[in-house]
Amino acid sequence: MSFPHPDRLLMAFDRALRTVSAQAKSSRPNPAAHVDSCTLTEQEQKHSAGLMRVNHVGEICAQALYDAQSSFSHTPEVARQLQHSCIEEEDHLAWTAQRLTELNSHTSFMSPLWYAGAYVCGVIAAKCGDAASLGFVVETERQVEAHLASHLQALPESDSKSRAIVEQMRVDEVAHGAAAKSLGASELPLPVRVGMKCMAKVMTTTAYYI
């Protein structure tokens, strides 16, 4: 496994800056763009904002993971797929940031920490080989899909805009996991999967408020 080219590192640094500063841009239309706005109570708005902040943090982590894993991947085919997924994850990042603004809320104050931690996890996964790295993607996306499905249940019924965004994110995450599996992902050991769930629980609980 060779060290990434300097140009690739500069691109990664640029992506990191845009990610943690909430300057991400989407390549696809926001799925909530043509959804009618509904009036939310103060409590509903606060709850929606907390959930969307959690989703935004998840996308910060996704940017870091995919960027690290593609940078340190062993084959061009795997790198290309991870880079493609990273672009779609940036769409999610932009959509959730926009929705937080509409809800008169903010992104997580801990964004740089989330990014740095996820990037380190991505490098470690990549160093274990492409099969293990892809397995990490499959398990991550499996957990994210379940997490997003729970948010569709938890979001206020009237918050159609947030629901539209979360549903498209869920569809994309399923596709990313399937693509990684088709490239030869290996099954991660049970302790690793459990550890990932524990780390995700800490992240989601903290990001809801901060």
Q: What digits encode the pLDDT tens for the residues 96-109? A: 999 999 999 999 98
Burial (Cβ within 10 Å: 0-12, 13-18, ≥19) of residue 35: middle
Q: What digits encode the pLDDT tens for the residues 171-189? A: 999 999 999 998 999 999 9
Structure tokens at 33: 């763009």
Residue 24 placed within a domain: no
Burial (Cβ within 10 Å: 0-12, 13-18, ≥19) of residue 44: middle
Nearest Cα neighbor of 165 from 116, 101, 114, 122 is 101
Which CATH number goes with the domain that contains 143?
1.20.1260.10
Q: pLDDT averaged over the chain?
A: 87
Residue 5 placed within a domain: no
List per-residue pLDDT tens for the chain, 210 residues long: 445 555 555 566 566 655 665 667 778 899 998 888 888 999 999 999 999 999 999 999 998 989 899 888 888 889 888 988 888 889 999 999 999 999 999 999 888 899 999 999 999 999 999 999 999 999 999 999 999 999 999 999 999 999 999 999 999 999 999 999 989 999 999 999 999 889 888 888 899 898
Residue 3 placed within a domain: no
Domain that holds residue 203: 41-209
Structure tokens at 206: 């903290």
Residue 122 placed within a domain: yes
CB 17 within 8 Å of CB 64: no
Residue 205 placed within a domain: yes
Residue 173 placed within a domain: yes
The total number of structural domains that make up the chain = 1
